Structures are given as structure tokens and as C-alpha cells.
Structure 1
Amino acid sequence: MCPDAIFPLSKAVRSAYSRNEEDETLSPLVLVDRHKSPAGRIQSGDSVIFYNIRGEREIELTRSLTENTFREFPIDTNLVVNFATMIEYQKGLNVKVAFQPPGILSDTLSDVIAAHGLTQAKITEAEKAVHVGYFFNGKKSDLLPGEERIVIPTRKDVKLFDEAPEMSIADITQTAIARIKDPHCNFIVVNFPNVDVVGHIENEPAVLRAIQAVDRHTGLIIDEALRQEITVIVTADHGTVEKWLYPDGGVDSGHTDSPVPFFLLHPDKTLTLKAQGSLTDVAPTVLDLFGLPVPSAMTGVSLVEQSKNSYTPIKRLLLLILDGWGLCENTKGNLITCAETPVMDKLMKSCPSAQLAASGVDVGLPPKTVGNSEAGHLHIGAGRIIYSDRLRIDESIASGDFYQNPAFKNAMKLAEHNGSAVHLMGIVSFFSSHGSIEHLFALMDMARQQRVSRLFIHSMLGRRGEQAESGARYIQQVEEKCRSLQL
């Protein structure tokens, strides 16, 4: 049998590349039988396991298959499936969760601020709403007393954000300035998503525009904050475009393992900062500046070198998060240094600054892995290391506990009892923060152990952090795995 017949889907992906399609925007490809009918369409009574590990787009996709009242796009309202997810994407979903949240995270930065009667506003656009709200607050959706979350709508008039790299930054700035001018707003968190979001698209001129837009609007917000005598912290959650190239010269549009900047603009010009730190140090620093107690659960430490008893507590603070803005001394392939950034250049020269670790074990991820927005915001707000779902799942696979997980076993046994199929759905990638192909392979091994007779895989591709055209290679690995397991 020829390789194309054995691996038809990886062949189809490679054919799409020849039509100038790429992994991030690939048109859907469906395997069909000899009658040209879809081979693995989800039917009522089937079991679906969604193995991604991020609660973002995953929420909408899950709802579309589990809620007959879903209206965001057309669905089969009569479809009834047994649905399991790798982690909890959102409370209230009609699913079984394999790896439950480890528990409610208390004494976060936002918790302490609310407990002391201070008000707080968090502002970004829809692309980063879950990070600035849910993850920053310790994976809690409910508003705290005195908390306001303002989500600026994301533009719908462009197909991809490289068509409008400025995104909705002007509206974010306008809204932030309004809160800065409000003397009753004590703590303001602003996230500019442009560098991260546009940085995932292989379009260098657009990325440069995004960087320059963030730099310009950072200046506008800082200027107004200083006029209102507000202390300002500028930092980021992870790196992206400061390492734009792989060693072979190919474009790396993913996240990085770089440190991120931390700048302090404080009325007391004698304050100095430790040169090195971690994202877990942001929350204790903010609390010290406010003169508030740092909970014992926070293992991070203040970056301010002076004792908090040596300076006057502040009443208001602006925390500005430049999403995806990393630091790298190497200028080759460093789009941050290629762009015109007069505001950030001035901060680097004139303000107390530090470099913060934002990847790997410093943010609860496996060693040597890149940072991401979820881990970044979670650790900025938590002030302590929170071990990631990916790390927990990897350890479960290594110990063998994964293969006895009740949510997975129930889904597979229900399918066999109903004479129906099991569907594994998720990203096929090793580097993506949304999931791992290793988790898919573990589920395939488990399906073989459980003697699942009908198994279908619905693979999602992404370009972020991957070499160009890596999707076909991953799809072929899945096809080879199916062949080796005789699935």
C-alpha cells in the first residue's frame, strides 16, 4: 500500500500547504469513506473527550456540543453526547472533568485589595478578558467587592489581527484614562494584548506596528497617571517576539522562555529594585507599596529593596501589563529592538527596573517550557507558584494513574455500552500551551486498553511555537500511532 493511502490526512495537509494555506488558518479537512460521507461525524450517544488544557476557545467549543441553547453559530440542537474534558474550562459546563481544580486559591492580590476596602478596575479587550479577570484572580470568575472588569470588544471587521495590529488599543487607553482620573479607583490593571496576539501571526511589519502602538499608548497612560500622582508599575506576562527566529532562520511565532521587564514609577525617587525576580514577586511588591499585609501563602517577595516602613504607603496604583513583551539581549531576530519604542527606552534608562522570570518552573510549568498568558497572569496575581495542569497530567501519565481516571473510563465504557463511538478532540502539538500530543497518545493507549471498538480523532492545528508546516508532521504521527495500535 502506498504511503498516501496509509496516511491520507497528512497528505491532505501538505496539499493545503501547496495552496498557500498554513496551520493557523487551515481550512477544515474531513476524512470520508468510499461513499464520500464523513467517516467520524459525532452522533447522539457518542462519547467526546476534549483533551485541551486551556479554558479559552475551549469553552465555546464545549458549549456548542453540550448546550442545545447555544446560539453563537449553527449547531445540531438534537445532538446528545457524553462529554468529558481534561480540565475544568469553566464552572457549570455539562461535562465530566478528568483533572479537577486543586481547590479555591485564596489570598490573591485581588483578594487582599478587596478585603481592605479598596476598589479595583481591570481593563483589556475581549482577547485577554479571561486572563485579566479569571486567571489574575486565582481562577475565580465571580467579582470581588469593589471590583470592576471592563472588556473592550474585539474588532470583527478583520479576518486576522495583522490587518489591524493596533486592535482596540485606543479604546483600552481611553477607558483606562477615565479610571485613572477617578480618584475613587485605587488599583487599576490594564492589559495591552497587541504584541502577543499579533506576534502569533507571521507578519513582521504588522508585529512592528503592534509593538509601536503598545509603546505609544503606554506613554499616554503613564503620562496621565503621573499627572494624577498615581504610582505606576509596567511589566509583562511572558515573552513572544523578542525571539522571532529559530536558529535556522525560520519564524518562531510562539511564546518564549525570556524574562520580562518590571519598571516602577514611584513618588519616592530614592526607592530601588532588586535586579532579578519572578512574576510571583509582583503581588507582594504591590501590597508593600500599598502598605497592606502580604499573606503567608504568598511565597514571592517584594522587589523593592527598602523596607516598607521607610516609605509612605500609596493610595493608588496602576499595573500595566504589556502582554508578550519579553527581554532578550540578542538583537538578531528581536522585533522589540527593531521597533521604535521611545517610551520603553526612556523607562529603561530612567526608572528603577528588574527582570522577572516568566517561564518554566518559575510559573509552575515543566522545566524549560515557555511562558504563556494563563500562567503569567495567574502568577502575577497569586504571588506564589501554582503548579500547572500540564505538569499534573504529565505526572499522572508517568505514574499510570491517568489510565484509571474515572472521567475517561466512564466516557469509554458508555460508548461501548451504547454501541457508539469515542471521539478524542484537541490540539496536536508538543509546544502549544493549549495541550499536548502526548496527552492524545495517552488517551489512544487507554482506548486500546479499554477495547474501544470505534475511535475517531478530531485534530486541531496551530502555528504558535511551531516550525512552519509542522502540522502535517504531527498529523502523520497521529496516523502512525493509530496504525501501530490497530485503531
Structure 2
Amino acid sequence: MSQKIKHPMSEALRRAYALGKEDETLTPLVLNDKGGYPVGRISKGDSVIFYNIRGEREIQLTRALTDDNFDEFPVDKPLNLNFATMIEYHKSLNVQVAFPPEDAIQDTLSDIISQNNLRQVKITEAEKAVHISFFLNGKKDNALPGEEIIVVPTRKDVSLFDEAPEMSIEGITKAALEKINDENYHFIVVNLPNVDVVAHIENDKAVIKAIEAVDRHAGILVDAARKQGIPAIVTADHGTAEKWRYPDGAVDTGHTNSPVPLILIHPEKKFSLCPKGELAEVAPTILNIMGLHPSPLMSGSSLIENKTGSFPRARRLLLIILDGWGLGDENNSNLIWLARTPVIDSLMKNYPSSKLDASGESVGLPSGTVGNSEAGHLHIGAGRRIYSDRLKIDRTIEDKSFYQNRAFLSVMRKAHETNCALHLMGIVSFFSSHGSINHLFTLMEMAKKEQVPQMFIHAMLGRRGELPESGALYIKKVEEKTLELELGKVASVIGRYWSLDREENWDRIEKTYRMLIYGEGEKIPDI
């Protein structure tokens, strides 16, 4: 008799790698029983926990599974799922939330500008719309008085952005120039997303093109501000491309723990800046330049060293956020160093600058963790440290209060009472900003304690911040955890490209939905 394979899904992943597939865009792998039927399909009345954090990329899939009026593609409804999410993805979702949001952050940079009856505009493309609005504004859903949000459409004619590294930067710059040249706008925020977005793809030539496009367009915007006599600040939310390779040469497409630049281009005076700081000091610095009083809630300080000297209040200011532009060593792992960046090089040489911490505790994340766009924009706008959902969740695991969470207990006990399955769905990673494998393991242990009759894990894999082929290692760990607990199976595995979308690419979400509900995908025998 042949020995039973205990790790069918991780071994299937290794076979997929041998065929040239990779974690981020992996098409569905579905566990099948001896009769060839999919194991662990989500059925009516089942319990589901979507354990991802962050939230903006989780909304579409959650809607497809829980919204009785959903009509973006054909679905089974109503599923009547007992559905819980780790955090609140959107107020409109009909789900239980394990860790509800705290109140919106008050007295942010945008709040203070609005309170002073100044007009502000924020410009980017759809990939980063939520960052320049919801996160930069302190997790507020609606625009502030006097605020305008301009979102340039993201290109739909490419499947991945290494095919078009310039993305929609021409449209962003065109919209920004119009506002820079309009004296009625006092605070202009421009996010150039290319470096962050393209650096998540294993194509160094495309990443360098993205870096050079951002450098070129940042120069166009700074020149326009100079002509209008407007001070400009160039900064970033976190790093990516400056540490794009591991020491062994393998590609690292994730975020980094690098500092980011802050460069001040002022027409009146060359200020002296503190050489080091953190993102929470961007807002007080901007308010200082504009002659506005920071909120007492802001723990960050202005980076301008000669604060006691008098300087003219700037009526207008341009803030350029180079998304994903970190400061790294001058070596071949630093694609920013390898690229041609005459504009930023010149600005760093000729204007005062600071190095800002943009990771770990400086942006409310656990010590040693990399930065991300959400935490970065939140801290740029808040002017103080804001503890992240990940840190709060980790602390509840440490003090054991996680096991008493009402939302989790509700769906698990419902599964026990109705003899239905519990499905745990989310990213499987140590490093992803969307979640942690430790959160998954804790939920699995909790399910065992709550005597859940059946448990199925639906894993999403990503390549960001991971070594190549890390997914198989993670899935094996999850399979070993199910064996240790004597409960559960990894029922499906899919790349996050298909599951975590925020641009209404409903064909991607439909692929994930059909995997979860109908068991569609490559059949992996559970033998």
C-alpha cells in the first residue's frame, strides 16, 4: 500500500513552480477527494472568517460572498453565510467585524487646512485613490469642506503594469499642473504611484522605467511650482525598489524598512532641516511653512531647525509623494541608484533634506516590520503615531483576549451548533501587509477549542516581500498545523492577483468566487 501524501497542496505548488508558475498570479488549485469531487466548497449556511487586514482589497470578494444584491457576475444567492472579517473593510458590508475601527483621527493635516478655509486638491490614479483620501485624511470616508479628489483612471489594457511602467502618470501630471497654475488651490497633493506598483513585479527593466518616469514627472511638477512661487515638498510613504534584491541575488518585490527622503524646495529661503525624522513630522512641517498652528494632538514636530527665525507664510504648497521611493545603499540591489534620476539627485544635492523613518514603530507597526502605503499616508496626514490593526491584533493574541473575540466566537459556535463547516480565508504570509500566518494559526487553534466539526483553509499567496517559491513553504506549514490539530484541510490555493483587487476587475474576483463556491480549478488529489 502506498504511503499517504500528507502535504498534497504544497507538493502541488512545487509542481506548479516547475511549470513556470509563481505565487502572485497562481491560478486555483483545489483539493479533490478520491471520487474527484472538490473538498471544502463554501456552502449555504457555512461560517466564514476572512482574516485579512488593511481592507481595501478585500471589499470586492466580500461583497460577492455576502451581498444579496450583488450583480457584477452570476452568483449563488442567498448563501446566508455566517461571515466575519478581521477588521472593517467597508461600513456597507453585511458582516461581523472582529476588530471594529476606532473613531476617525481628528485634527489631521487636511482637517486643519480645511478649518482655515483653504482649498485643497489631491491627485493620483485609481491604484492609490484610497491612500490620498481615506488614509491621508485620518480614515475619513467623505471629502472635507474645500477638498477635491481627482482620480485618474488606471489603465485596463494591460494585465500587469510592467507592460506599461509609466501607468497613467501623464494624466496625473496634466491634472496637477492645472491646479498648480490655479491660485484658488492652496494645498496640492500629488501621489506618483509607479515605483511602488511596478516594483512588486519581477521585471527590473520595467521598474527602472517606472523610476525614471517618476523622476521626470516630479521635475515637471517642481518646475511648475517654482514658476508660481510655491514651496514644494517631495517625500515618500515607504520604500520598495531600493532593496530589490536579497544578498543572494534573488528578487525581493516587497516593501522595505528603509528611510524615505523629504526635500524642501522653497522660493524664499533655504531652510535648515533636521537630518533625521519620521513620517509623523511631515504634517507639522507643512503647517509650519504655511503659517498654520498644528493640533495639540500632533506629537510630531516640524523638521525646520530654524523655527525661531521669521519667514514669510506660504499661502500655497505642493506636496509630492513618490510612492515606494526609499533611500538605500549604492549597490546593484538598489534599482533607484541604477536608474537615471537627475531630478531627485539634483534636488537632494541643492536643497535641504531629511531622512524619515517609514517602517516599524515609527508608523505604528510592530518593531522590525516593513512600511506600507496605508501606514505611510496615515502618518503623513496624522502628524502622530497611530497604532496599526496588526499591532492591536498581535497584542490580543499575546494576552489571550483574542480567544474571547465575540465575532469569532459567534461564527465558530454557529458552525458547531449547525454542524456546518468553518472556512478560514486569507493571505498566507509572514510579511504581507494584508495579514499574518500567525493570525491564521491562532484562528485554527481557536476553532479546535470551539469544537468546530470541519475546517477548511482557502489560501491566497503573494510574492511581495517573499523569496521565490515561498508559497509552498507556507502551505506546508499550514498543512502541518492541520495534522497537529487533527482538524482541517487546505482546500484551495490561489494567487492574490485573483482575490485581492480594488479596481473592479471582476473577472479576477469571479475566478476566486468560482473556486470557493464551485470548486473550480486544477484538481489536486487528496491521496
TM range (shorter): over 0.9
Alignment-mate amino acid for residue 423 of structure 1? H
Deviations 1:378-407 (A, max 9, x none): 000000000111111111001100011000
Check whether the contact 1:232–1:318 (CA below 8 A) recurs between aligned residues. Answer: yes
Shift of 1:45: 0.7
- What residue identity is the alignment partner of 1:381? G
CA distance in 1, matches of 2:12, 2:485: 22
Alignment of 1:249-328 (within 5 A): 249-307=249-307, 310-328=310-328
8 Å CA contact 2:270–2:352 kept in 1: the answer is no
Residue pairs, 1:49-128, within 5 angstroms: 49-128=49-128
Q: Which runs of 5+ in 1 are unaligned?
A: none
Distance 1:333 1:24 in 2: 21
CA deviation after TM superposition for structure 1 residue 364, in Å: 0.5
CA distance in 1, matches of 2:215, 2:223: 12
Which shifted more, 264-273 or 154-163?
264-273
What corresponds to 1:195 in structure 2?
A: 195
Deviation string, structure 1 residues 172-223 (Cα, Å, up to 9, x no partner):
1111111111111111111011000100001000000000000011111111
Report what 1:395 is aligned to: 395
Say whether 1:447 aligns with 2:447: yes
AA of the residue aligned to 1:59: I
Paired residue for 2:434? Answer: 434
| TM-score, normalised relative to structure 1 | 0.98
Describe the SS at the equivalent of 2:58.
helix
Q: Tell me the C-alpha RMSD between the 2 structures.
A: 1.2
Aligned length: 487
Amino acid at match of 2:200: H
Q: Give distance in 1, aligned partners of 2:423 and 2:221.
A: 48
The code of the aligned residue for 2:332 comes to: K
Matches of 1:380 and 1:4, distance apart in 2:
53
Q: Which runs of 5+ in 2 are unaligned?
A: 488-527
**Larger deviation, residues 442-451 vs 322-331:** 322-331
Shift of the 441–3 alpha-carbon distance from structure 1 to 2, 3 Å rule, reads farther
Map of 1:360 onto structure 2? 360
Q: Letter of the aligned partner of 2:449 in structure 1?
A: Q
Q: Tell me, in whole angstroms, the C-alpha distance in 2 between the residues paired with 1:303 and 1:71.
A: 50
CA–CA distance in 1 between the matches of 2:281 and 2:372?
Answer: 17
CA contact (8 A) 1:289 1:308 kept: no
- How many angstroms does 1:477 deviate by? 0.5
- Looking at structure 2, the residues matched to 72 and 272 of structure 1 have their Cα atoms a distance apart, in angstroms, of 54
* Alignment partner, residue 155 of structure 1: 155
CA drift of 1:72 comes to 3.4
SS of the residue 1:30 aligns to: strand
- Where does residue 418 of structure 1 map in the other structure? 418
Tell me: CA distance 1:100–1:2, structure 2 relative to 1, closer, same or farther (3 Å): farther
SS in 1 for 2:98: strand
Shift of residue 103, structure 1, vs aligned partner: 2.2
Q: TM-score when scaled to structure 2?
A: 0.91
**Superimposed CA distance per residue, residues 288-307 of structure 1 (whole angstroms, 9 cap, x where no aligned partner):** 11111111110000011122
Change in Cα spacing, 1:267 to 1:94, as seen in structure 2 (3 Å) is same
Distance 1:120 1:2 in 2: 69
Cα distance in 1 for partners of 2:378, 2:441 equals 28
Is the CA contact (8 Å cut-off) linking 2:427 and 2:459 kept in structure 1? Answer: yes
- Contact 1:288–1:308 (CA<8 Å) still a contact in 2? no
Deviation at 1:230, TM superposition (A): 1.3
Q: Does the CA contact (< 8 Å) of 1:291 and 1:308 recur in 2?
A: no
Partner residue in 1 for 2:183: 183
> 1:341 and 1:69 mapped to 2: Cα distance?
49
Which residue of the partner structure matches residue 143 of structure 1? 143
Q: Secondary structure at the match of 1:224?
A: helix
Contact 2:226 2:267 in 1 (8 A): no
Q: Residues 4, 317 of structure 1: CA spacing in aligned structure 2 closer, same or farther, 3 A cutoff?
A: farther
Moved more, 181-190 or 306-315: 306-315
- Give, as a single letter, the amino acid of the residue that structure 2 aligns with 1:122: K
Whether 1:375 and 2:375 are equivalent positions in the alignment is yes
Runs of 4+ in 1 over 6 A off after TM superposition: 1-4
Residues 1:131 and 2:131 are matched in the alignment? yes
Most deviating of 250-259 and 87-96: 87-96
**More contact order relative to length (CA 8 Å, sep ≥ 6):** 2
Determine the C-alpha separation between the residues in 2 that align with 1:226 and 1:201. Answer: 35
Change (3 A) 1:32 1:309: same
Residue aligning to 2:525: none
Q: Are the aligned partners of 1:4 and 1:11 in contact in 2 as well (CA < 8 Å)?
A: no
Asked whether the 8 Å contact 2:263–2:353 carries over to 1, the reply is yes
Name the SS for the 2:32 alignment partner. Answer: coil
1:3: how far off? 7.5
Separation in 1, partners of 2:444, 2:162: 37
Amino acid of the structure 1 residue aligned with 2:314: I
Task: Give the C-alpha shift of residue 87 in structure 1.
Answer: 0.8
Q: What per-residue deviation string (whole Å, max 9, x for no partner) do you get for residues 155-184 of structure 1?
A: 111111101111111111111111111111
Describe the superposition over 1:347-385 as per-residue Cα deviations: whole angstroms up to 9, x where unpaired.
011111111000011101111111000100000000000
User: Percent identity between the aligned chains?
Assistant: 61
| CA spacing shift, 1:270–1:320, aligned 2, 3 Å | closer
CA contact (8 A) 1:427 1:436 kept: yes
Worse overlay, 422-431 or 245-254? 245-254
Within 1, Cα distance between the matches of 2:15 and 2:370? 31
Matched, 1:347 2:347: yes
Task: Decide whether aligned partners of structure 1 residues 23 and 295 sit closer, same or farther in structure 2, where only a CA change above 3 A counts.
Answer: same
Distance (whole Å) between structure 1 residues aligned to residue 422 and residue 450 of structure 2: 11
